[in-house]
Amino acid sequence: MKTIKGPAIFLAQFMDEKPPFNDIESICKWASKLGYKGVQIPTWDERCIDLKKVAESKDYADEYKSKINSTGVEITELSTHLQGQLVAVNPAYNKMFDGFAPKTFRNNPKKRTQWAINQLLLAAKASKNLGIKEHVTFSGSFLWPYMYPWPQRPKGLVSTGFKELAKRWIPILNEFDNNNVDLCYEIHPGEDLHDGITFERFLNSTNNHSRVNMLYDPSHFILQNLNYLDHIDIYHKYIKMFHVKDAEFNPNGKAGIYGSYSDWIDRPGRFRSLGDGQIDFKSIFSKLTQCGYDGWAVLEWECCIKNNEQGAIEGAKFISDHIINVTEKTFDDFADSGSNKNDLNNILGIN
């Protein structure tokens, strides 16, 4: 067993136009004062990082890393959630996802996809230059509009979708392998990788690529009625990253999992700040610790009621209180009477 690192915080939901949230040094100082030891960096936000420079210059990467460390925190991982989403986009979502790319690549899905792939390739090199061994992204999705099997899906639609998804990701995975970095897909609704079975489909489609791993976020599982504790038992060897995010699911006589097209605050399933939802984090931290997870516990704040600053303040203590310092001895060692081979044989009646 190993002790989980933390607390850390994902900066994506905190960047803003006002200080101290408008540049990387000031927001890192803010996070450090709250008790965070690490920050997860959103690479699409130029206020946080120049991904190209970090990828192409080890000297620049060292300077950037030193600047972050000087604020009292370290970089836990880089994130390409938005770029990863654009690796695979069903045409139904072209307009809505166009905003994830620079203006010069909008209204041109092919160029937008190539830009996204190039961003992932840079992220692999940037992670290596920063000395980081894990990276988080989204898988993107060809199949999400057909998640519910009505109208009847044409035979071969799902296998065709996963085959193309793997075709786009394998060169990226190879680049991550070349840089000795694990690629962790956040298992998330809206992505083709949104539960355990779809993760396995993708893994099989990539010929069990060694760099295919996952970010574990229980909030996305409780909203699907998926057993998030069993998920750890099944997939713990693939879990290399952990978002600590709370949620609640309160179905009623009017609405359930699908949410009735309601806004977040009115949906039966909704994200909450840490401690305000229904997720059993004591069991999660226990299971992850028992399974040997030694990565970071990273707050991702998403709540439709509580504001992000209060969520961040409360989140640092919440994570710290749940991290288990693993024991180095057995609790009943005081009763150990000692043993040798003869004693063992005598106890068992072996002559």
Residues 312-323: pLDDT tens digits? 999 999 999 999
The one-letter code for the residue type at 121 is: L
Compute the CA torsion angle 48, 51, 56, 58 (nearest 10 deg).
30
Q: Cβ(2)–Cβ(326) under 8 Å? A: yes
Mean pLDDT of the chain: 96
Res 59 pLDDT > 70: yes
Q: What are phi and psi of 211, to 5 degrees?
A: -95, 0
pLDDT tens digits for range 118-171: 999 999 999 999 999 999 999 999 999 999 999 999 999 999 999 999 999 999
DSSP 221-253: HHTTT--HHHHHHHHGGGEEEEEE-EEEE---S
Tokens of 239: 């879990």
> Bigger pLDDT: 181 or 350?
181
* Residue spans of alpha helices (H) in the chain: 24-33, 51-56, 58-69, 81-85, 94-97, 109-130, 157-178, 196-205, 219-222, 228-235, 281-290, 308-322, 341-348
Give me the pLDDT at residue 342, please.
87
Q: Are 103 and 88 in contact (CB under 8 A)?
A: no
Domains, the chain, in order of start with CATH, read 5-348 (3.20.20.150)
Residue 111 in this model has a pLDDT that exceeds 70: yes
Of 265, 259, 101, residue with least CA distance to 189 = 259
Who contacts 288 (Cβ-Cβ below 8 Å, separation ≥6)?
Answer: 4, 216, 232, 236, 239, 242
CA distance 333 to 258: 52
Give percent of the chain with pLDDT exceeding 70: 99
User: What is the C-alpha to C-alpha distance for residues 190 and 203, in angstroms, rounded to an integer?
Assistant: 18
Q: Does residue 311 contact residue 7 with C-beta atoms inside 8 Å?
A: no
Q: What is the pLDDT of residue 351?
A: 73
Rounded to whole angstroms, how far apart are CA atoms 65 and 225? 40
Kindly state the tokens that stand for 63. 């300077």
| 246-249 and 38-42 beta bridge pairing | unpaired
Q: Residue 327: its pLDDT value, please? A: 80
pLDDT at residue 232 is higher than 80: yes
Sign of CA dihedral 121, 170, 84, 211: negative
DSSP 293: -
Identify which of 194, 181, 199 has the alpha carbon closest to the alpha carbon of residue 223.
194
pLDDT of residue 334: 66
- The pLDDT value given to residue 239: 98
Backbone Cα Rg of the chain: 22
Q: Is the dihedral of CA 151, 157, 158, 161 positive or negative?
A: negative
Place of tokens 């989403």: 85
Q: Is 209 helix (H, G, I), strand (E, B) or coil?
A: coil
CB-based burial of residue 261 (10 Å sphere; 0-12 exposed, 13-18 middle, 19+ buried)?
A: exposed
For residue 271, pLDDT over 80 is answered with: yes
Please give the average per-residue pLDDT across 44-51, as a whole number: 98
